[in-house]
Each structure stands twice: as C-alpha cells, then as structure tokens.
Structure 1
Amino acid sequence: MKNFKFILILIFGFLSSSCNLDEDPIFLDETLYDTPQSASAALDGIYQGLTNYNTLERRLFVINGFSGLFNTNKNGNNINNKNNANLFSLKPNYDSDSENMWGGLYGVIAQTNSAIKSIRVVDNPSTNDELLFSDIAGHAYFVRAWAYFSLVRLFGDIPLWLELPDSENLNKSKSTAKEVYAQVISDAKKAASLLNGASGNGYPKQYAANMLLAKLYMTMATNSDLQEGSLTEMDYWQMAYTEAMKVYGKYALVPNYSSLFTDSNENSSESIFELQISQDAANSQMGRNFTPLNYKAAQAFGWFQVHADVYDLHASTYPGDPRINGTYLSEYTDANTGDILKVYPADSGRADYDAAHPFLFKFSEKDPTSTNQYNNQNIIIYRYGELLIMLSEISNELQNGEQLGYVNELLNRVGVTPQAGYLGSKEDFRDAIMMEYRFELIGEGEDAHNNRRRGFDYFLNNTISRHNNNPGFKPDVDLTLSTSESEVMGLLIPLKEINTNELIN
C-alpha cells in the first residue's frame, strides 16, 4: 500500500499549498466534488485528517491514558508527572492533549460535513463515476459517525455539527449523548448503504460501517439512558448480532499475531479499517513517542507503559501466549551503548519507577537500527480479531450457543486453550470475554470504552479495584486510580471550547 501512501503525500501537499490564512480552507469549495479526481483528492484529505498529530497520536495518548491500564513518562519520568496525576490516574482535568484531540476530530467532522453537503449521489448508481461518488459520500458518513462515536464516548453531551458554520451560525449548544448516538446510527447506516468499494484498496468497505453499528448497539444494550423506549436490552444485542454477522467471514485472521503491528503486513486479510500512515505525508511521530527509550538509534520516548498487574493477569491466564511478545517489551539492547536494558517482568524487583512496568510494543518502531524519529507503520482501527470477540460477547448475552466457537477461532491462532471462565456460567463467560478484549487489543484504542461500557460498578470492580488492590501494588511506582464515579467516567469539555462557544457554559 505504499503507492496509496505516496498519493496521500501528493494530496496533502496540494491541500496545504492551495490555501492560506486569508482564504477559506480548500475543502469548503463545493466544486471540489464536481469531478471524480477532485472528489477523490478531497476524500484522501479527510482520511489524512485522521492521521495528523492531534487526531492520531494525541487521541491514542488520551484514550489509552484514560483506560486505567497505563502509566506514562511524558512530562517527567516519575509517578507524579502531570499526566500520571491527571488523565492516567483517572482524575481528568483540563489538558492540552484532550483539547487538541477535540479540535482535531471536529476539524475532520467539518471536512465530512462539506463532503456530505456538496457531493451528488444518485439512487442505484451504475456508471463508474456514479459508483465512485456514492462511495466517497459513504466514506464521509462513515468518518463522521466514527469521529462522533469517539467523542461522545469520552465527553458525553457534546455539540453536534451537521452543517458548516457561517456568520449566522458560529456556536452550537450541546446535544445529549442519546441524540448523538441516534445521529451516529443514522450516519453509519447511510455509510453502509453507500460504500461499494469503488475507491479501491486501502479504504474501509461497507463492513466497517456494519462493525461500527454493532459497537453502537452493544453500547446501548448496557446503557438504558441511550435506548429508545420501545426497544429492550435483548433487542439491542440482537441488532448488534445482525450487524456483526454481516462482517463475519468477510475477513480472516493473519497467522502471525505480531505481524499486525509491523509495516510489512499492512492492509492484511484481518484489517477492516486501517489508517494509512506515511512519515512524510502525515509527519507521524508514533515511532518516536511510543518506541521504548533507546530501543532504536533515533530519538524515542516510550510514552506508554502497561501496569505491571495487567501484564501479570495476561501471563497467568495464558502462559506462553504469543500475544505477550507482540504486545509487551521488557528486555532489549540499548541501541546507543549496547547495554541490556530491563524493565518488569525481566527486572522483577520493581525497585524504581523506570523499571516497574513493561512497555507497550505495538506502536513501536520494530527496527532497532532506525535513525528516523518518524515511521511508516499503519494503524489498524478495526480488525477481524476484535469482531470475533464481539460476536462471542453478543452470543453469550443472547445465549444462542455460538459464543465459545468465536473464542476458539480467535485463540486457535495463538495456540492457547480458552480460559476456565468460558466453561462456567453466563456471568463467568461475560467476565472472561471482557478480559479477552484486553489481552487481544490492549492499546489499540478501545480499552477506555470497553472498560466503562458496562457501567461504573463494572469498571470499578474489574479495572480500578483490581489494580489498586492487587497484591504487588507499590505506592511509589504504581498509580492509585480514582474511585470517584464523577471523575472516572468521562472527560471535561476543553476550556477552549467553553471559552469560545457562547452556547456552552
């Protein structure tokens, strides 16, 4: 997919050079969607907006930090740095990462609003151009749905922009989370009906919209405040099953789990929605920020370390699981000195903060000889492994007898036997499958939501208290996570939005 990435470089350069501070952004030009070529360029601009620093690196930093599973050495290699004391200990305050993520996602939403307003689609498209315009419109609806789903899960009630601002419409009051969910469902359904694959490889297909719908219905099944009055919890689980089954069998697991997090196996059979990263086009700093310190020759910060007890639970549940080596890093050679560096569990003493937790390895540059602080590794947003876990969870709630089959399909790849909880009651299975998300997908962007999706009590008992009360907890190297419902369940709307939006106080 490097050809696709090269196109992004050209498109980004065109978009950047075609507007200045005295002009409206180029995506506001309605004629941009008059021809297939310019409309395709605008579509690439929308997806490039998802790969910039604010909507990629800052978003991952915020959602992983707010999951209760990580600590960080950003802004200080100690347990009391401002990120650990704020976001990572589930005591969110106003912070620049959340604010810039907010701005980045709303910027992409503005681009999709322009596309939705401007592009012309026809019923029953048949010509190549008609199919392409339909597909591009489908992408605009999909990205808008995904962006709002990302925001509402973190912030709750938020402004719902479905049009472009103008001189008469500069501010927007908050819509309720329920209203936002209704709009996301509408957009995702529209996307599923319009997407047809005409844009080619490297772009998500309609099945990504089906997977998004399944996620929406799963969330609504366990949150009565989001549900429509005529529908029951089981109705939502059934709707989630229907959407997930539209995706089932359309993709396949790759044989080697670790290969998912390299730049040599991009857009694989497992990938459903993948961001195309180019260090030149997107200026991606993933390889600098999330590669362990001194793992490679170039600058690296290692901003994500997984709580030691999270690692311990994975290792004790599935001894020898190949996913462990693909996910965590605890021992490596210093690229500059040749010394062997160890953190937990390779260094089992946990004597100081520096060595008390393993690094998250998924986003790391995999070449220790790399002298570039940036990297080209794509970032997978949705993949088939997650869909199998979703189907297992949904099937357990429906008690349709299929739940263990999807788990076996997933675990057969790594050659491990399903944990004991899968053979117990419905509740035991539920607890096991919620942990399977963590073992399979930690750090990939869904932890904060999955940990909260079943409500405060479930989050408290299965993440917060499990961490705070684990036998190996050491207050000098382990974060104490907040147990206050008012703190841990959502982020504050950024001050910049409050100070500039007259309809929000």
Structure 2
Amino acid sequence: MKNFKFILILIFGFLSSSCNLDEDPIFLDETLYDTPQSASAALDGIYQELTNYNTLERRIFVVNGFSGLFVAARGGDNINSSHNSQIVSLKPTYDGDSESMWGGLYGAIAQTNSAIKSITVVDNPSTKDELLFSDIAGHAYFVRAWSYFSLVRLFGDIPLWLELADSENLNKSKSTAKEVYAQVISDAKNAASLLNGASGNGYPKRYAANMLLAKVYMTLATNPDLREGSLTEMDYWQMAYTEAMKVYGIYTLVPNYSSLFTDSNENSTESIFELQISQDAANSQMGRNFTPPNYKASQAYGYLRVHADVYDQHVNTYPGDPRIDATYLSEYANANTGDIIKVYPADATRANFKIANPYFFKFAEKDKTHSNQFNNQNHIIYRYGELLIMLAEISNELQNGQQLGYVTELLDRVGKVPHAGYLGSKENFRDAIMMEYRFELIGEGEDSHNNRRRGFDYFLKNTINKHNNNPGFNANVDLTLNTTKSEVMGLPIPLKEVNTNELIN
C-alpha cells in the first residue's frame, strides 16, 4: 500500500510542480474530484503537503527548538549560533524555518479548501463511491483542522483561509485565535462525522479527529480567553474526556517502545495518525537531519540535542527505563572510522558545547549502513501512548478516580509503576503527568504546546526556570532560556507574510 500510494503522490506532485506561473495549481481543478481515482490521488497530494521538507522537517525543528527542551547543532555547532541564540533560547525573531513551515501548512490548507469546495458528499452514503468521497472530504476537514491547530498554537492570531485565493482575493487579515479555535473544532467535528475508513490502511480514521478535538478542548480548558460563551473550564475537561474515550480501547500499545521509531513497525496498533514516508517519493531528510553525526555511513547532521537536565530528570525519575535508550544517544561507534564518539552522559565532563548534551535519537536512521541522503521511516503524529497520558490528565482535573489507572497502563509497557509524585494532591498529580508527556513523547511534536498550555507562569516554573536554575547549569555550555513573557509564548508572524499581505500590519 505504501509504495502504491506514493506512486499516486509522484504523479500528483509532478503535475502540480509542472504548472507554470500563469496556470492554476492542479488541485484547483474541480474536475479532479469527479472520479474516485483522481480524488484519491488528490487526497495523497494533500498528505504529501504534510510530508514535504517545509511542513515536516522544518516544522519538527521549530516546534522542538521552541519548546525549551533542546539545543541546536545547526548553523554553527556552538552556543552562539543563530538558532541557539534566538528561537532555541526562546528569543524568536523572523527566521527561515518558521516562515517555511508557515508556507507549508498554508499550502496544505489551500489543497483542503479546494477539496472541501469541490467534493460532493451525500447524507447516509452507502455505495462504494459515496463512502469514498465522504471519507476524502473527511480527510480534507481533518488536515485543515490539524494544520490550523498547529499554526494557532504557535502564532496566535492568524489569517483564516476557508476559501480559495484568486486574483481578486489575495490577502487576508488576521482572525483572532478564538475564532481560529472555533473553526478547528468545527472542522474536526466534520471530519469525525465523515471519515469512514474507505480510503484504506495508512490513513487516519475518525478516531484521529476525536483525539484532535480532545486536544483542543484541553487547551481551551486552561485558557479562558479562548472559550466560547458560558462554557466553563470543567465543561471543556468533560468534553475532552468524552472525545478521548471514543478513542480509548480502539488501539493498543506496542510491546516494544523503541520499535515505534523504526521503519519495521509502521502503521502499528498504537498509531492513530501517521504520515506515510517513501524515500523515492517524499525525499524525506528526517534521517539525515536528526541522526547523530557519523552514526550512519552517509550524511548525518544531528540537528537536535536534549538539555542535559531534561535527560537527568528522566533517568532520576525512572532508572532503567527502556524509553531512555530509545530517546537519547550518548555513545556510539563512528560508522566511517570505528572511533567511539561520546557526549553527555557517556562523557560526563561537559567540557565543551559539542559534548555537553545527549543527542535526540528517536528520528535517527537506525540502519548504520544506510548511505542514502533520504530515508523511508514514517512519522507518527498521534499515538495511543499519548492518549493514555491525556486521559490521565483529564481524569485528574475531573477527579473521576481513573487517572492513576491510565498512567499504570502506560508504564506497564516499560516495566515501571507510577512514581511517588503521582500520589497526594490533585496538583501533585498534575505536575507529574505534565512531566510524563516529556518522558514518553519528547521530540514528537507536542512539547512546545504542552509546556505552554497551562500559561506563562507554569511554563516559567516548570521549563524555563527548571533549566536555568538547575544545579548543573554551566553558562559556557548551556543555553540561558529567555524569561520575557511577550517573547516566549509565541512566534512572530513570518516577515514574508507581513511584507506581502497588505491586510497584516
């Protein structure tokens, strides 16, 4: 299925890229959605937008870099590089990665707008074609919801395109974040009602839309300025619980945690939303960019390392946790020379910036003989392990007595039990579960949001100051994270958008 699907993507991508500047992109052709075959190819084109370099690799770098948990080994492997001194230190300016990510996500939104406008769906679909068209429309709503959710969490007030741009409609003023969240909810609900699985394996099912809704409701629960009408914090926690429970029990944890980050266990029982990557079609450079240098035979840049104190907290909380070796790498043989390379903690001296922090390992190419610049490994966006943490957090806020059970279910996979921090007050459990997101999911795309979701004060206390004030902090090798509220809570609208959109000041 994976190879077949990306043959369609290659066709769609070629047709799109072959249009000249005087022609409309092929996805604007409404006849593309007239037949099941062409509509399915167009659907693959939508998901291809999420796998291109700007929307995947650059997005991963931005959301991790802006989380307060990483250092960058890019653009100069030193503490004063442009990335480390700006976005990674939570001092964002106008940068090319954020701008490219912005363009990639809005490119996906443009394709979904075309699909939503062009596809005809019927009530109560019953034929094979009716079910397929309904499913494709559901995917369009889901991708649009996910894309806007990704943008609004980082940029706040943004342009809300729900129609196609044309020569008379090239600019869009910003909508408030509250309005964007309302649209995300509407789109995710439409997706949940339309998705039926007719597109086959490898595509997200309606449960991904339910999980997205739960995430949105959790965000609104802790952000009163974004709530609608008379709904209270507890209303939103309850709605989050209702949506998350629609997903609970549908998926299962895979036995081996580390297998989630290989190309041998793709589309597993744990995967809820997974981007399908083909080396030949998608030109994915995830393995090149996020594999430690010289870990494999060909190019490997190791763009991200995890703060040493974040690693230490994981090890101290769960000694012997299998998630540690799957997440961080500190010692390995140079694939080209055989020499042993060591960084912290294998080299505990932290003598210079290059060895002061462990490499982030999840997205590395695990085949050390791999010699291609591109690789095949899929990218999981939503998985069941995260859902269990969400249910634990939600249940704690609702005080329904279920919270410890979900944590136990999660930790049983790695042979651990809930630590003492989970015992005691509601606040104790809250702090413990927010750290569990890191231990289980660090680097997978949600850290930037989860760290900020409970507001600036929580972010300052539990991420920024925890790093800046940790006992092992060394100003010669550790980044000092910014503490200015107006700067650390969001990214500026990209300069290209500001300069070209007449309706944005």
- TM-score for the superposition, normalised by structure 1: 0.99
Q: Say yes or no: does 1:306 pair with 2:306.
A: yes
Quick check: 1:12–1:48 contact (8 Å CA) kept in 2? no
Mapped partners of 2:6, 2:183: distance in 1: 34
> 1:20 Cα shift?
2.8
What amino acid does structure 2 have at the position aligned with 1:319?
Answer: P
Mapped partners of 1:55, 1:242: distance in 2: 30
Match of 2:126 in 1: 126
Match of 2:251 in 1: 251
> 1:273 Cα shift?
0.2
Match of 1:200 in 2: 200
Mapped partners of 1:93, 1:13: distance in 2: 32
Mapped partners of 1:192, 1:182: distance in 2: 15
> 1:347 Cα shift?
0.5
Quick check: 2:5–2:44 contact (8 Å CA) kept in 1? no
> 1:2 Cα shift?
3.3
Q: 1:56-205 maps to which residues of 2 (within 5 A)?
A: 56-205=56-205
Q: Say yes or no: does 1:42 pair with 2:42.
A: yes
SS class of match (2:51): coil
- TM-score for the superposition, normalised by structure 2: 0.99
For structure 1, which segment, 417-426 or 143-152, has the greater mean C-alpha deviation from structure 2 after superposition?
Answer: 417-426
Deviations 1:363-421 (A, max 9, x none): 00001111112110000000000000000000000000000000000000000121111
Quick check: 1:291–1:363 contact (8 Å CA) kept in 2? yes
Quick check: 1:15–1:45 contact (8 Å CA) kept in 2? no
What amino acid does structure 1 have at the position aligned with 2:75?
Answer: N
> 1:229 Cα shift?
2.6
Aligned residue pair count: 505
What amino acid does structure 2 have at the position aligned with 1:54?
Answer: N
For structure 1, which segment, 166-175 or 379-388, has the greater mean C-alpha deviation from structure 2 after superposition?
Answer: 166-175
Match of 2:395 in 1: 395
> 1:278 Cα shift?
1.1
Quick check: 2:276–2:379 contact (8 Å CA) kept in 1? yes
Match of 1:441 in 2: 441
Q: 1:273-352 maps to which residues of 2 (within 5 A)?
A: 273-352=273-352
> 1:114 Cα shift?
0.2
> 1:167 Cα shift?
2.0
Mapped partners of 1:119, 1:15: distance in 2: 20
> 1:172 Cα shift?
0.4
SS class of match (2:341): strand
What amino acid does structure 2 have at the position aligned with 1:326?
Answer: A
> 1:63 Cα shift?
0.4
Deviations 1:325-368 (A, max 9, x none): 00000000001110000000111110001100000101000011
Quick check: 1:8–1:48 contact (8 Å CA) kept in 2? no
Quick check: 2:12–2:42 contact (8 Å CA) kept in 1? no
Q: 1:384-423 maps to which residues of 2 (within 5 A)?
A: 384-423=384-423
Deviations 1:82-123 (A, max 9, x none): 000010000000000000100110011000000000000000
Mapped partners of 1:494, 1:298: distance in 2: 33
Match of 1:264 in 2: 264
Match of 2:3 in 1: 3
Mapped partners of 2:331, 2:419: distance in 1: 27
Mapped partners of 2:346, 2:18: distance in 1: 52
Mapped partners of 2:73, 2:234: distance in 1: 43
> 1:13 Cα shift?
4.7
> 1:169 Cα shift?
1.2
> 1:9 Cα shift?
4.7
Backbone CA RMSD of aligned residues:
0.9
Quick check: 2:241–2:391 contact (8 Å CA) kept in 1? yes
> 1:5 Cα shift?
4.8
Quick check: 1:222–1:454 contact (8 Å CA) kept in 2? yes
Mapped partners of 1:492, 1:313: distance in 2: 31
Quick check: 1:287–1:375 contact (8 Å CA) kept in 2? yes
What amino acid does structure 2 have at the position aligned with 1:429?
Answer: F
Mapped partners of 2:128, 2:79: distance in 1: 57
Unaligned runs of 5+ in 2: none
Q: Say yes or no: does 1:21 pair with 2:21.
A: yes
What amino acid does structure 2 have at the position aligned with 1:26?
Answer: I
Mapped partners of 2:295, 2:56: distance in 1: 22
Unaligned runs of 5+ in 1: none
Percentage of matched positions with identical amino acids: 84
